[in-house]
Structures are given as C-alpha cells and as structure tokens.
Structure 1
C-alpha cells in the first residue's frame, strides 16, 4: 500500500467522501461496494481501509457531514429574530426541507437503509452519534425552558417527540396525497403543545 503525502491523503479522503456520497445516494448502502468507490478514486482497495474501517463507516462519516450542514442551518435560523412559535415551526420546516431536498439524507431516512447501517456500524459509533444528538438537543431545550419558551418536560421526552415528528417523512406513501396537510397539522399541534401559554 503506497504512503500518501498529507496533501494526497486529503485529496483521496475527499474523493472517497464525494464518490461514496454519490454512489450511496444512487444505489444505497447495500448495493454500493468498496470496489466501486476505490475504482472511481483510482486507489487500491487496501488503501481504502487506511481511511475507513468499512463502507458503513464511510457512510456514517458522510451522514455526519450532511447532518452537520443541516445543524449549521438550524443554528443560523435559531439566531434570527423570530417569535418562539416561528422559531419552533421554523425548526421543523427547515428539518423537513433538508430531509426532502438532500438526496443523501433522503436515502438515509429509508427504513431498510437506516436499519442496515445500525446493524453494520460498530456499536460505539452508533452510541456516540445518539449521545451527541441528545446532548445538542437537550442543551437547546434547556435554554428554551430557562427562557420560559417551552413547557417544563423532561428534555429527553421532548427530544423523543421531535424525533418522532421527523419520522413522519418515512410514511409519505402510506399517508398518500394528503401528506403535506397532515404534516402541517401535526407541526401546528406539536408546536402549540410545546409552547408555554
């Protein structure tokens, strides 16, 4: 396996990430192979493992990068001058928009895709991801509770509620052509239920 200079390492890693994202988006985790990724990047298969332990780890790293971009957009929105109701509704709207317009995140949200990732990803990586999400969410919820914006409920319960709302996008087909109306009504009900009166 050839030794890469720091510049070459960065270029190869960037290629693995962008090629992986493209192939995972198009074919999914199961149907994308390490062979296809390394062929597109012009490196030996063994070199792949100098960067990632598995294709699942590559997928997870891409997912984190995409979610980081989504989180940045959410932070920008939260720093804007809006009413608490507009902020909460905006948080949901932006999250749904990112899930519906980002092809990679849309792919991650497919039932089989996420279940496969969870089964194949090392437990410590998965646990680390969940804990980081919970910490960030709990921090925001506690801030809003201190400012008397949302109800005093266990932050973990509120995080669970927010997650369950976002899972609605998995059921677009079952809900059918009324999906957008169902989503809007659900967001209105949840937003009103979380805000302090």
Structure 2
C-alpha cells in the first residue's frame, strides 16, 4: 500500500474508534508508522482526511441501503425505510455520526456541497424510482417530472439547517417530512 492509503486506513480506524475530536494527527502518524510532517505531504489537516473518510463512508452507506431495499414495494413504505435506515446508520456509525457534531458539521456540510457530484446514488435512485412510479400510475399527474426531485432536494436543504431546527428534533422531522411528501405525491385523488 502507498502512504496515502495507509494514512487513510489508520485515520479511518482511529476516527471510527475514538471519534473526530479525540483523534489527532500524531496518533494517525504513529499508527501509520510515519512522521507527522509526512502526514502533511498527503493531507493539509485532520479535517481534510476526515472529510475524505466521511465521504467514502457515506457512499458505502448509500450503496448498502439501495441494495437492501425492495424497489417494488409501496412508494411511501420504500421511502420511509430508506430514511429510517439512513438515520439509523448515521446514529450507529461513529464516523457518520459526526454529521451532528456542532463543532464540525458546518465545515462538513460545506465540504459535502463542494465535492458532491451529480452521480449521488440516492439522488439517482429517487430519479429512477420517480420514473418507475410515474409509469405505474403511482405519482400524481399534476406534479411535473422536473419538480419531483426538488421535494427530496428540499430535505437536503433542511438537513443543512438542522441546528436552526434543533438537532434533537431533526431526525424525526426528516422522517415525517419524507413520509408526508410521499403521501402527498402518491395521493391520486388530487
């Protein structure tokens, strides 16, 4: 393995076991068998390494969730399960839980916005599911195809304002909002 991979793996292990705050560069360097100065040849800060690790962990989570869902079930149930699995994983994974760390999440959100690409697995999933549900007549006809993804993009916007809402309310709020959105989109009586 090259040094960057070793640093990444050691960082992952320490962030996973100790959390962001209690992990420092000297611990990572020691575990990697390198000098602290060598760390800086690959990462400009502990935060940069953590952000890279976070993004990989988040991508892995999203792929796992997508693989675990039955795409043929009721849209409301499917989205509820997707959101519940995401929140559960965020709360049980030491690295992903940092999304709720008041001292870190603003920087993490900014980093996420800067490098987030259009090939986000969850966004792609919603896009494909909306097409499928539209063809099966499960989505209201009065909501156009361009507006459909905006409903879930609005949840991401709310996510970046979780501190304003209250971190203690946030996970449950997202669950309810996703359910309400899906119930509204699948209400054929409109």
**Alignment TM-score > 0.5, same fold:** yes
What 5-or-longer segments of structure 1 have no aligned partner?
Answer: 1-5
Query: 2:115 matched to which residue of 1?
Result: 128
Query: 1:39 matched to which residue of 2?
Result: 30
Query: 2:150 matched to which residue of 1?
Result: 157
Partner SS, residue 103 of structure 1:
coil
Query: 2:67 matched to which residue of 1?
Result: 76
Counterparts of residues 1-197 of structure 1 (less than 5 Å): 6=1, 10-23=5-18, 25=19, 27=21, 32-117=23-108, 126-129=113-116, 131-132=117-118, 135-147=120-132, 148=134, 149-150=138-139, 151-152=143-144, 153-154=146-147, 157-164=150-157, 171-173=166-168, 175=169, 185-195=176-186, 197=188
CA deviations on 1:114-169 (whole Å, 9 max, x unpaired) are: 113457x5xxx75222x346x54443333223221545343552232232565697
Aligned-pair RMSD on alpha carbons? 3.4
Distance 1:112 1:146, change over 3 A: same
Higher helix share: 1
Shift of 1:39: 2.8
Shift of 1:26: 5.4
Paired with 1:57 and 1:160, the residues of 2 have a C-alpha distance of: 26
Instruction: Name the count of aligned residue pairs.
Output: 178
Asked if the contact 2:80/2:178 (under 8 Å) is kept, the reply is: yes
Paired with 1:184 and 1:158, the residues of 2 have a C-alpha distance of: 13
Asked if the contact 2:7/2:32 (under 8 Å) is kept, the reply is: yes
TM-score, normalised by the number of residues in structure 1: 0.69
What 5-or-longer segments of structure 2 have no aligned partner?
Answer: none
